[in-house]
């Protein structure tokens, strides 16, 4: 008994000396009702949202579907990613549809090789189409279009699950999954795997088990490997001390283009809150037959294309070889340097897109905070009203919902500043010592983006 006590004390002392990070959500991942219970819950929510999206007599403004999806869930997703990683992908109803089909139909082929090669770029295209639809159709006030998107994503997830095994839709075509893929690099919740996790890769429905050790942050936490008796499931930890800067080996060409694409879409979303958008509309509408949606599609496409073209020009101007330092996740050797020395143009493009990633996340969180701050309470009132929990016939949302709030602006500037700080930190490591001209180009590029996003944050949204 004394020996056991001494061993336990020694174990606690050893753990204290190692300063192990606090545990994550392992009990939830190993709970026998996870994620099935959440899937059925969100099936019901999805069905209700589709019903209200097409219910007769419903207004676009104040509709339950648009309020829940675009004013509560979408802006809250960024903060869920920060604290919970890709936990949404684990409980998402579309992923649940794929899992349900897999339980019914066991034998299905893997996606063909051409699909796997083109799949990531199809995902980038789906994110761009998703952003265009959001901006051109005004999804936050368009219940019908929101319902069509929900039905379309459900049918795609179901159809691809019938044709191929695994979460094919989630891995290649889901725009939300691709967005969380990029942002999950900075999550405080970190999945971990081991080379001893035999069988985990075989049962993983997206082929991204932490057992691969290449991109552990991409684990969707679907619970498959944690419940499979032949696979040793993942473990998670929470490390909110400092954000994890991913190594360049985790960041490919697809992630680079996607990072810049998201930055361009959010730039367009920010510009439409300023007078610049009104002036553009006055100029473009007469040439495009006064078609509002066409002007939005053209403007967004030009802005995103300009950002990608400028990135290519900067990569061409800077040239040289790439040396990027990334901090490995917990459980790996920290401070490991990852380098890439391929062709100058492609290497520089990847490394610069990589350095924009923290700024992209900072902008996303800033804009999400703005939408939550201005629309969360009216949206909750809508949910209560449609649920008959309150009886209120006032204007939905209230006319004074868009207001200037000094605390909000300070929080937005703090998020934007942190994103800019870490982006410049990555870019600085990528610059050669003493290359003042290159540093000036990088600083000018980041400062330009910072000013662009500061415009809507300086006044009412």
Quick one: what percent of the chain has pLDDT higher than 90? Answer: 20
End-to-end CA, the chain? 66
Q: What is the DSSP letter of 94?
A: H
Q: Please give the structure tokens belonging to residue 342.
A: 């391929």
Give the model confidence (pLDDT) of 396-407 as tens digits. 444 443 444 667
Q: Which of 63-72, 182-191, 312-321, 448-457 has the highest mean pLDDT?
A: 63-72
- Please list, in sequence order, all residues whose beta carbon lies within 8 angstroms of the beta carbon of residue 24, skipping any fewer than 6 positions away: 189, 190, 191, 235, 236, 237, 238
Give one DSSP letter per residue of 280-345, joined into a string.
Answer: HHHHHGGGGTT-HHHHHHHHHHHHHHHHHHHHHHHHHHH-S-EEEE-PPPTTS-TT-EEEE-S-HH
Q: What would you measure as the largest C-alpha separation in the chain, in angstroms?
A: 88
In this predicted structure, what is the pLDDT of residue 335? 39
Give the model confidence (pLDDT) of 209-259 as tens digits. 555 545 666 788 888 888 877 666 778 888 765 555 555 556 677 888 888
- Average pLDDT score over residue span 65-79: 89
In this predicted structure, what is the pLDDT of residue 350? 74
Round to whole Å and give the CA distance between 220 and 233: 13
Round to whole Å and give the CA distance between 200 and 206: 11
In this predicted structure, what is the pLDDT of residue 436? 44
Round to whole Å and give the CA distance between 227 and 211: 15
Q: Please give the structure tokens belonging to residue 251.
A: 């960041």
More confident residue, 45 or 370: 45
More confident residue, 436 or 180: 180
- Please list, in sequence order, all residues whose beta carbon lies within 8 angstroms of the beta carbon of residue 405, skipping any fewer than 6 positions away: 373
In this predicted structure, what is the pLDDT of residue 382? 58
In this predicted structure, what is the pLDDT of residue 175? 92
Give the model confidence (pLDDT) of 131-166 as tens digits. 999 999 888 888 999 999 999 999 999 999 998 988
Round to whole Å and give the CA distance between 258 and 316: 20
Pairing of strands 337-340, 322-325: antiparallel
Residue 433 pLDDT > 50, yes or no? no
Give the model confidence (pLDDT) of 78-129 as tens digits. 889 888 888 999 999 999 999 899 888 888 888 887 777 887 788 899 999 9
Round to whole Å and give the CA distance between 136 and 298: 10
Distances (CA, A) of 18 to 5, 15, 190, 240: 20, 5, 18, 17
Q: What is the DSSP letter of 110?
A: P
Q: What is the DSSP letter of 217?
A: G
HSE value, Cβ hemisphere, 13 Å, CA-based, for 270: 27
Per-residue confidence band for 176, with pLDDT thresholds at 50, 70 and 90: very high
**What's the mean per-residue pLDDT of the chain?**
74
More confident residue, 27 or 400: 27
């Amino acid at each position: 008994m004394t020996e056991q006590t001494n061993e336990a004390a020694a174990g606690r002392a050893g753990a204290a000396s190692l300063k192990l990070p606090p545990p994550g959500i392992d009990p939830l991942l190993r709970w026998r009702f996870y994620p099935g219970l959440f899937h059925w819950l969100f099936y019901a929510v999805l069905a209700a949202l589709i019903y209200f999206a097409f219910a007769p007599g419903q207004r676009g403004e104040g509709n339950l579907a648009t309020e829940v999806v675009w004013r509560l869930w979408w802006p809250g997703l960024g903060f869920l990613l920060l604290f919970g990683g890709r936990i949404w992908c684990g409980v998402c109803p579309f992923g649940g549809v794929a899992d349900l089909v897999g339980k019914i139909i066991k034998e299905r082929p893997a996606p063909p090789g051409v699909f796997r090669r083109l799949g990531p770029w199809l995902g980038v295209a789906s994110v761009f189409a998703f952003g265009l639809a959001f901006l051109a159709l005004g999804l936050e006030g368009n219940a019908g279009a929101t319902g069509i998107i929900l039905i379309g994503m459900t049918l795609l997830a179901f159809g691809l699950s019938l044709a191929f095994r695994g979460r094919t839709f989630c891995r290649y075509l889901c725009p939300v999954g691709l967005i969380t893929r990029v942002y999950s690099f900075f999550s405080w919740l970190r999945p971990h795997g081991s080379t001893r996790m035999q069988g985990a890769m075989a049962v993983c429905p997206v082929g991204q088990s932490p057992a691969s050790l290449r991109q552990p942050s991409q684990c969707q936490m679907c619970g498959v490997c944690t419940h499979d008796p032949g696979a040793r499931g993942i473990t998670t930890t929470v490390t909110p001390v400092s954000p994890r800067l991913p190594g360049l080996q985790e960041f490919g060409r697809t992630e680079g283009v996607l990072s810049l694409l998201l930055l361009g879409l959010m730039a367009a979303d920010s510009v439409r809150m300023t007078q610049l958008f009104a002036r553009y509309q006055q100029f473009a509408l007469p040439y495009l037959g006064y078609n509002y949606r066409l002007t939005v599609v053209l403007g967004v496409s030009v802005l995103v294309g300009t950002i990608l073209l400028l990135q290519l020009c900067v990569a061409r101007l800077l040239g040289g070889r790439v040396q990027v330092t990334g901090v490995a996740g917990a459980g790996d050797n920290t401070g490991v340097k990852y380098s890439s020395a391929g062709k100058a143009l492609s290497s520089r493009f990847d490394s610069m897109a990589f350095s924009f990633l923290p700024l992209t996340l900072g902008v996303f969180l800033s804009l999400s905070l703005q939408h939550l701050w201005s629309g969360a309470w009216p949206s909750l009132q809508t949910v209560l009203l449609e649920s008959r929990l309150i009886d209120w016939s006032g204007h939905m949302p209230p006319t004074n919902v868009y207001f200037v709030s000094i605390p909000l602006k300070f929080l937005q500037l703090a998020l934007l500043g942190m994103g800019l700080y870490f982006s410049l930190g990555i870019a600085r490591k990528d610059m050669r010592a003493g290359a003042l001209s290159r540093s000036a180009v990088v600083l000018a590029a980041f400062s330009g983006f910072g000013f662009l996003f500061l415009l809507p944050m300086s006044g009412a949204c």
